[in-house]
């Protein structure tokens, strides 16, 4: 594959020396990079990337130094401070710095904190959004994050609090009542607590749930379960983070919209899983 096809004419911004571009890499599949991300990868002197950024994406920046700044599962924030200050140092050395983060840099990614530190140190920044795993990852599993028959709102929630340990500080009662569909990031570690709290707050134990791990990569796995059975089913399936957990009726849409399964020859299980009489509208 060639990575140097010219980008179509557009006023592509130049990554100047001494700048930091904070960029989302999307959930995994390199095809989900934005053109701004590709433009940035081609110009960077140095790419500082997270654990969730797929190695294949770094191939788009063969000229750059690649620095791994992996942080996994809510380690102490001193490390975060080190990363932010490293970005400051590199910019001050006159490098063209690309800070590459999984998904979208401003969605549960501490991108806001890093950008704030940079601005506080007088470093000019540009923010490049990315496709967040909670939207793109679910789409790859055939789950629409909103669907007219299901939800008029969606809640994105993290399963970790600031300490990285417990979801205890979150108001799960309000969250459970807040919208028909919940999209939980970083929920695997505390899924027993989270599912119990949602059921205690009134969500039915039979409510459909999907767990999508390493979404959009070749290792993507999808588990369809319910709030009441999720803990046992995750254990039985041996599923590991990173995972997006989607709670709500929209999970049923996978029965008709599992487009990856269909491409592999698996017939849809149910053309109208919500039973709204919309099996083949206006065909």
Give the residues lining the site for ligand SAH (CB under 6 A).
Answer: 27-28, 52, 101-104, 107-109, 132-133, 137, 185-186, 212-216, 241-244
- Pick between residue 102 and residue 273 the one whose CB is nearest to ligand SAH: 102
Residue nearest to ligand SAH (CB): 103
Residues composing the chain:
283
Catalytic residues: 50, 71, 186
CB-based contacts of 39, cutoff 8 Å, min separation 6:
7, 12, 13
- Pick between residue 109 and residue 208 the one whose CB is nearest to ligand SAH: 109
Least distance (Å) from ligand SAH to the CB of residue 281?
31
Least distance (Å) from ligand SAH to the CB of residue 252?
20
- Give the CA distances from residue 122 to residues 24, 49, 78, 115, 117, in Å, rounded to whole numbers and listed in that order: 22, 22, 21, 11, 9
Least distance (Å) from ligand SAH to the CB of residue 132?
3
Least distance (Å) from ligand SAH to the CB of residue 103?
2
Contact yes or no for 205/227 (Cβ under 8 A): yes
- Pick between residue 95 and residue 194 the one whose CB is nearest to ligand SAH: 194
- Pick between residue 95 and residue 114 the one whose CB is nearest to ligand SAH: 114
Least distance (Å) from ligand SAH to the CB of residue 127?
12
- Pick between residue 95 and residue 157 the one whose CB is nearest to ligand SAH: 157
């Amino acid at each position: 594959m060639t990575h140097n096809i010219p980008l179509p004419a557009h006023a592509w911004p130049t990554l100047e020396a001494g700048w930091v571009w904070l960029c989302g890499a999307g959930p995994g599949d390199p095809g989900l990079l934005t053109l701004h991300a590709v433009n940035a990868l081609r110009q960077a002197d140095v790419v500082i990337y997270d654990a969730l950024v797929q190695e294949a994406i770094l191939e788009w920046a063969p000229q750059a130094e690649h620095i791994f700044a992996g942080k996994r599962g809510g380690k102490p924030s001193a490390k975060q401070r080190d990363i932010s200050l490293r970005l400051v140092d590199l910019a001050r050395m006159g490098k063209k710095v690309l800070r590459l983060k999984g998904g979208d840099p401003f969605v549960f990614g501490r991108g806001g904190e890093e950008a704030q530190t940079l601005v506080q140190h007088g470093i000019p920044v540009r923010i490049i959004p990315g496709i967040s795993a909670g939207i793109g990852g679910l789409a790859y599993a055939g789950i629409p994050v909103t669907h007219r028959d299901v939800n008029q709102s969606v809640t994105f929630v993290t399963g970790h609090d600031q300490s990285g340990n417990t979801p205890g500080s979150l108001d799960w009662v309000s969250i459970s009542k807040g919208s028909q569909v919940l999209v939980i990031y970083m929920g695997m570690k505390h899924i027993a607590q989270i599912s119990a709290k949602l059921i205690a707050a009134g969500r039915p134990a039979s409510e459909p749930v999907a767990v999508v791990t390493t979404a959009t990569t070749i290792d993507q796995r999808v588990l369809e379960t319910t709030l009441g059975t999720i803990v046992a089913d995750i254990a039985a399936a041996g599923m590991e983070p990173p995972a997006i957990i989607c709670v709500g009726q929209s999970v049923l849409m996978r029965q008709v919209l599992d487009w990856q399964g269909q491409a592999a020859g698996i017939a849809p299980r149910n053309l109208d899983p919500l039973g709204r009489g919309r099996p083949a509208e206006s065909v």
